[in-house]
């Protein structure tokens, strides 16, 4: 994550969200509420520009599920403009609120980056998937789930249970018994995050989970590849007879079909995994 780039984008977002409304408000006051057409046009362009910048910020800052910040990005600029009807103080308050949200986003991303750099590596085993009383779908493809997990740290600390919340693609929510690489906050052990760079030798590095660019994590964690590595060994195990090897291959193919039927694998992932299995069995 380039934090300098994020700072510049957040600064641009605040300026584009606040400045047009303030300028239009001052002009309307000076011209007895008659605002020039060019000023209105500039405000419209500014609103579109600030929202476009915010969408880039949201992608960098993992803000898909942050409902309040999206409301601010959508309506904040309108509030700065229309707030003049109630007095100069309301646009100022909204401008401060927009600035505060920008600082919150930066702090959240910087903290997440620090956790990846300084956190203790370990593994989290899923004990239970907590289903919410109301299922909320984000962007038509993600659901938020809370996992009860058991954390085993690499530094030898005693295992402990905690909760982990994230967005998951529909059909890709992990099952009890699955596990994944995590980093743990040394000062707050119950604060964990999926590891961007798992320790060498773990299944994630060979399976592709987490992805090398970490683009899926936070916008819908993909456990599919790890499911494949955990439940479906792709290397044919040595056996005394060819028939034993054939039975192992058949069992793996059957399990692969079950994962596909349950929605854990897409059609493309199913075909790629099947070919990999068949190649390993030759």
pLDDT tens digit sequence for 147-165: 999 999 999 999 999 999 9
pLDDT tens by residue, 204-237: 433 333 433 333 333 334 444 444 444 444 444 4
Establish if 21 belongs to a structural domain.
yes
Per-residue confidence (pLDDT) for residue 115, from 0 to 100: 94
- What three-state secondary structure class fits 266? coil
Q: Given pLDDT bands bounded at 50, 70 and 90, which one contains residue 41?
A: confident
Q: Are residues 151 and 189 in the same domain?
A: yes
* pLDDT tier, 246 (very low <50, low <70, confident <90, very high otherwise): low
Return d(Cα 197, Cα 219) in angstroms, integer. 17
Which of the four pLDDT bands, split at 50, 70 and 90, describes residue 111?
Answer: very high
Residues 91, 47 contacting (CB under 8 angstroms): no
Residue 157: what pLDDT? 92
Report if residue 172 sits inside a domain: yes
Q: Are residues 171 and 264 both part of a single domain?
A: no
**Is the pLDDT score of 13 beyond 90?**
yes
User: Are 48 and 104 in the same domain?
Assistant: yes
CA distance 169 to 180: 16
DSSP E strand stretches across the chain: 120-130, 137-138, 142-153, 160-169, 179-184, 192-194
Q: Are 117 and 186 in contact (CB under 8 A)?
A: no
Query: In total, how many domains does the chain have?
Result: 3
In a domain, 237, yes or no: no
Mean pLDDT of the chain: 76
133 or 124, greater pLDDT: 124
Model pTM greater than 0.85? no
Domain match, 9 and 110 both: yes
Structural domain of residue 153, as residue ranges?
119-223
Higher pLDDT, 212 or 67: 67
d(CA 96, CA 51): 18
> Which of 24-38, 174-188, 266-280 is modeled with the greatest confidence?
174-188
CB-based contacts of 38, cutoff 8 Å, min separation 6? none
């Amino acid at each position: 994550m380039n934090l300098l780039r994020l700072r510049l984008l957040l600064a641009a977002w605040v300026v584009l969200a606040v400045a047009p409304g303030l300028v239009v408000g001052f002009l309307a006051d000076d011209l007895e509420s008659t605002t020039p057409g060019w000023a209105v046009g500039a405000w419209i362009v500014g609103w579109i520009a600030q929202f476009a910048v915010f969408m880039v910020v949201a992608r960098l800052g993992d803000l898909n599920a942050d409902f309040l910040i999206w409301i601010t990005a959508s309506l904040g600029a309108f509030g700065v403009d229309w707030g003049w009807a109630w007095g100069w103080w309301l646009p100022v308050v909204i401008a401060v609120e927009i600035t505060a949200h920008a600082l919150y986003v930066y702090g959240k991303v910087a903290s997440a980056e620090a956790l990846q750099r300084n956190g203790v590596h370990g593994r989290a085993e899923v004990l239970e998937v907590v289903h919410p009383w109301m299922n909320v779908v984000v962007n038509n493809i993600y659901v938020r789930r809370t996992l009860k997990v058991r954390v085993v740290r690499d530094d030898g600390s005693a295992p402990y249970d905690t909760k982990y919340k994230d967005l998951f693609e529909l059909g890709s929510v992990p099952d009890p018994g699955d596990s994944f690489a995590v980093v743990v906050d040394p000062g707050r052990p119950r604060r964990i995050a999926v590891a961007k760079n798992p320790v060498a030798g773990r299944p994630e590095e060979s399976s592709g989970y987490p992805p090398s660019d970490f683009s899926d994590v936070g916008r819908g964690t993909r456990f599919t590849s790890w499911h494949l590595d955990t439940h479906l060994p792709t290397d044919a195990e040595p056996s005394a007879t060819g028939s034993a090897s054939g039975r192992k291959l058949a069992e793996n193919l059957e399990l692969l079909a079950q994962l596909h039927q349950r929605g854990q694998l897409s059609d493309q992932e199913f075909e790629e995994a099947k070919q990999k299995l068949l190649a390993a069995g030759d």
